[in-house]
Amino acid sequence: MTHRGTLIPGDGIGPEITSETLKVLEATGVHFEWDEQPAGVTALEQTGSLIPEATLASIRERGTALKGPLMTPVGTGFRSVNVALRKEFQLYANMRPAYTIVPDGRFQDVDIVMVRENLEGLYSGVEHFIPIDGDPRAVAVSEAILTRHGAERIIRFAFEYAVENNRRKVTMVHKANILKMVGGLFLEVGRKVAEDFDGRVECEDMIVDNAAMQLVLRPEQFDVIVTTNLFGDILSDEISGLVGGLGVTPGANIGDAVGIFEAVHGSAPDIAGQGIANPSAQMLAAAMMLDHLTEHDAARRLREAIRLSIVEDRVRTRDLGGTATTAAFGDAVAARLA
């Protein structure tokens, strides 16, 4: 079977890590028909738009996209290319798995999946200033918006993921002790959803500041975490730090009709073109994409090839303490898949 997808190489190091990811995808034996489209600064330079309509149309028609890191120009008035894509396709679930690959890190046996609500909360974009005594920007107000529908949708997504992937526990992270309405609603809805999975998935809830501390004290206690937009954004980077950083942690943005898979690190223009970027996160995002397309065996083999290349072959890029180039790492993973 040939899968049809939209390929967005991205900005900065994006084209380099995407090229190596395509190499290892081909080595899995799974076939893709790609429609390559630009976004971000590359698209702005080529078309005058950060997200050209042709790119949106391609994603809408194909339903699956593999995306490199994008850059949003400072001072343009455009909030974020990534946020715009999430809103355009209603990608309500952000998934960030992190597990120990590098064996000589500080933490071992970490295997956590962060499920983050992607459209609501403090990132809803409802903000305004209140003028006082002639100062038009004396007070800034940002509103955290949570709907019952949005909370139930993301929490149910996390529980269903746990069941489908033989995960043992879901931890609902909140701040209901202070944010009585937004946090309270999230917790209320979560406890109700948990009843539908009683006996299949263990459920607990944890206040966000305690969760942040527990992640660095005993990360092995966590399995699947589900939380609101801002908390998920912060904690997902903390979790990435437990396993070696953003260079080894992928992400996916999932909606009812579209899935976009990406490396979550930045475009790193300072090292673009030097051939030293770590493509692991982009490759692991491709593995998530394979699972999304029910190519589970290929996804498993790709993850294992990445792990063996780092652990046994010791082919490591500079961020992991090695000297391998981007292409050398891609060659090593592809060889493992051959």
233 catalytic residue (yes or no): yes
Q: In one letter, which amino acid is 257?
A: A
Asked if 294 and 86 touch (Cβ cutoff 8 Å), the reply is no
209 catalytic residue (yes or no): yes
List Cβ neighbours of 203 (8 Å cut-off, separation of 6 or more).
159, 169, 170, 171, 172, 190, 191, 194, 197
Crossing angle of the two packed helices 182-195 and 148-164, in degrees rounded to 10: 40
Give SS3 for 318: helix
Which conformational region is residue 229 in: left (phi greater than 0), alpha (psi within -120 to 50 degrees), or beta? alpha
Q: Residue 311 — φ and ψ, nearest 5°?
A: -85, -50
Catalytic residue among 11, 67, 161, 175: 175
Asked if 206 and 171 touch (Cβ cutoff 8 Å), the reply is yes
Catalytic residue among 67, 123, 291, 331: 123
192 catalytic residue (yes or no): no
Catalytic residue among 11, 233, 291, 331: 233
Q: For the chain, first and last CA: distance in Å?
A: 19
Q: Which residues on adjacent β-strands are paired with residue 97?
A: 113
Count of CB atoms situated within 10 Å of the CB of 43: 22
Residue with tokens 């490591």: 316
Catalytic residue among 135, 196, 209, 297: 209
Residue with tokens 């399995």: 223
Which strand (E) or helix (H) includes residue 225? Answer: strand 224-227
Structure tokens of 326?
Answer: 């981007």
123 catalytic residue (yes or no): yes
| Enzyme catalytic residues | 123, 175, 209, 233
